[in-house]
């Protein structure tokens, strides 16, 4: 078996900017290209200088594989491909390709348009970066974050008869006993209500919560429907129930609107002197 060399360019001993360089059989593969959310300078990006002091990365890297669309796993992609320089293939799943540019653009707006930071990628760089993406199906890519129990949108992680030579995994909460998901969701919603009642707006890290709080709810629901076969069994049931409620609400609204128009028409006739109205 050929020698495997593992080099963390980010997230080696901290949380964020996940980026692992794997060298095997004369090939160099980059696993993830994330951003560190705790820094506002070049430290937020992986250390690409280990690969090349100057010049493009294309000559050194054979491919880049993105596990999923969280920004600590994909946030530095446009910086790496368009500012440092990489023209090779970038592999990710279909849902990740769909959602990744939305989160990247959302974070760019916060970082550049609102905070005024420089040395950051542009909207056009995001588009040019995504043109290099080669979409793959489930079980054709690596996974950075995984859960052995199902959550609200994905089923439990599993793989059939795998005997890995090496396992690379995050351990952010490995020794942490966390509150139940129900308690965390209750506390989160309580903070949202308190903020809105004070007249504020919700802004969270550009991961899951921003789909709820920053006007991306419709897009999130669209992608749930588009990739319904990738989700757990509860999502189709919830979407069908939500669609049923939406249709009923529209029907009730239409009836109310018709009654309002009818009353407005009757009042208009009376005000204009009409004394007899057809029943």
Burial 97-109 (b: 16+ CB within 10 A, else e): bbbbbbbbbbbbe
Tokens of 7: 């080099």
DSSP character at residue 180: P
Residue 89 near residue 134 (C-beta atoms within 8 A): yes
Is residue 170 annotated as a catalytic residue, yes or no?
Answer: yes
Tokens of 94: 């279909």
237: alpha, beta or left? (left if phi > 0; alpha if psi -120 to 50): alpha
Tokens of 184: 């965390």
Quick one: which of 9, 4, 98, 77 has its CA closest to 48?
9
Q: Within 10 Å of residue 74's Cβ, how many Cβ atoms?
A: 28
CA distance readout (Å), 52 to 61, 110, 137: 11, 30, 32
Catalytic hit among 82, 105, 170, 205? 170
Bridge pairing between strands 4-10 and 19-24: antiparallel
Strands (E), the chain: 4-10, 19-24, 27-31, 63-65, 90-93, 133-136
**CA atoms of 244 and 23, how far apart (whole Å):** 52
Active-site residue numbers? 170
């Amino acid at each position: 078996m050929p020698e495997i060399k593992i080099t963390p360019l980010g997230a080696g001993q901290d949380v964020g900017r996940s980026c692992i360089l794997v060298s095997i059989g004369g090939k160099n593969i980059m696993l993830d290209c994330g951003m560190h959310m705790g820094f506002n300078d070049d430290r937020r990006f992986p250390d690409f200088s280990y690969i090349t002091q100057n010049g493009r990365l294309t000559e050194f890297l054979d491919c880049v594989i993105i596990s999923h669309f969280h920004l600590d796993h994909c946030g530095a992609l446009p910086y790496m491909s368009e500012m440092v320089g990489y023209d090779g293939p970038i592999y990710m799943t279909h849902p990740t390709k769909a959602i990744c540019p939305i989160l990247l653009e959302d974070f760019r707006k916060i970082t550049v348009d609102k905070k005024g930071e420089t040395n950051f990628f542009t909207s056009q760089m995001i588009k040019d970066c995504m043109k290099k993406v080669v979409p793959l199906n489930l079980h054709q890519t690596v996974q950075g974050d995984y859960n052995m129990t199902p959550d609200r949108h994905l089923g439990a992680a599993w793989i059939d008869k795998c005997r890995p030579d090496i396992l690379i995994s995050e351990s952010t909460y490995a020794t942490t006993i966390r509150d139940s998901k129900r308690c965390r969701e209750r506390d989160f919603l309580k903070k949202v209500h308190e903020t809105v009642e004070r007249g504020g707006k919700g802004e969270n890290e550009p991961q899951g919560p921003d789909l709820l709080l920053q006007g991306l709810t419709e897009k999130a629901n669209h992608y749930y429907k588009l990739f319904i076969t990738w989700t757990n069994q509860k999502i189709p049931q919830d979407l069908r129930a939500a669609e049923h409620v939406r249709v009923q609400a529209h029907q009730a609204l239409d009836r109310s609107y018709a009654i309002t128009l009818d009353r407005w028409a009757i009042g208009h006739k009376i005000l204009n002197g009409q004394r007899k109205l057809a029943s």
